[in-house]
Amino acid sequence: MKIPNKNTLQTLVASFALFSCNLYSQDFKDAKDNLLRKNQISLEKLKDTRKRIQNEKIPLASSLSALERKVSEKRRALDRLIRLRDNKSVGLNSLKKEVEGRKTELQFIGTLSNDYLANFEARLHSSEIDKNQDKLYAIHGDGGKEVKLRSVAVNIRARYGHSIKSCV
């Protein structure tokens, strides 16, 4: 077997190194091209996504503004209804108090009118009571039972001089 020349060996090693560098450089170039292509595709997708977002942003913002206006209108309406309800309850309470006050006034007036009639009848002469008996019945509205008792008391007082309070 013949031993190759030192130069030949160096040439062979150098050519092998160049060949392998060429292969590695081809792999790096392919990898670089592949990464650049993927980067370009990603940039295109990003550009399309940004454009779609920009196109959808304005209608979504308009929809959001419209919904916020509706919400604020509903809140105002709710506040107004709550105020009306509160005002009605306050009005209802004041009406209840007024009704109670009117009932008290009616009782007071009824008591005053009964006292007035009793005093009026006490001052009447017995003949005037007999003469106006029907009118007194109508005024009392209770069937005239009290008027009859009072007229009897007045008659007793007129005849015998006794007090009405002792008789009634």
For the chain, domain boundaries:
47-102
Q: How many CB atoms lie within 10 A of CB 36?
A: 10
The confidence score (pLDDT) of residue 40 equals 94
The 10s digit of each residue's pLDDT in 50-83 is: 999 999 888 889 999 999 999 999 999 999 999 8
Among the ranges given (25-29, 89-93, 103-107), the one the predictor scored with the smallest mean pLDDT: 25-29
Distance (Å, rounded) from C-alpha 3 to C-alpha 70?
97
Distance (Å, rounded) from C-alpha 63 to C-alpha 143?
78
The 10s digit of each residue's pLDDT in 37-55 is: 999 999 999 999 999 999 9
Q: Which residues contact 137 (CB under 8 A, 6 or more apart)?
A: 143, 144, 147
The confidence score (pLDDT) of residue 144 equals 45
Among the ranges given (61-65, 140-144, 163-167), the one the predictor scored with the smallest mean pLDDT: 163-167
Among the ranges given (141-145, 157-161, 162-166), the one the predictor scored with the smallest mean pLDDT: 162-166
The confidence score (pLDDT) of residue 80 equals 93
Location of structure tokens 């209108």: 73
More confident of the two residues 111 and 71: 71
pLDDT band of 20, cuts 50, 70, 90: low
pTM exceeds 0.75, yes or no: no
Q: Which residues contact 85 (CB under 8 A, 6 or more apart)?
A: none
| CA 80 to the chain's CA centroid | 8
**Average pLDDT of 24-48?**
85
First to last CA, the chain: 167
For residue 31, give the 3-state DSSP assignment. helix
Looking at the chain, the number of H-run helices and the number of E-run strands are 5, 0
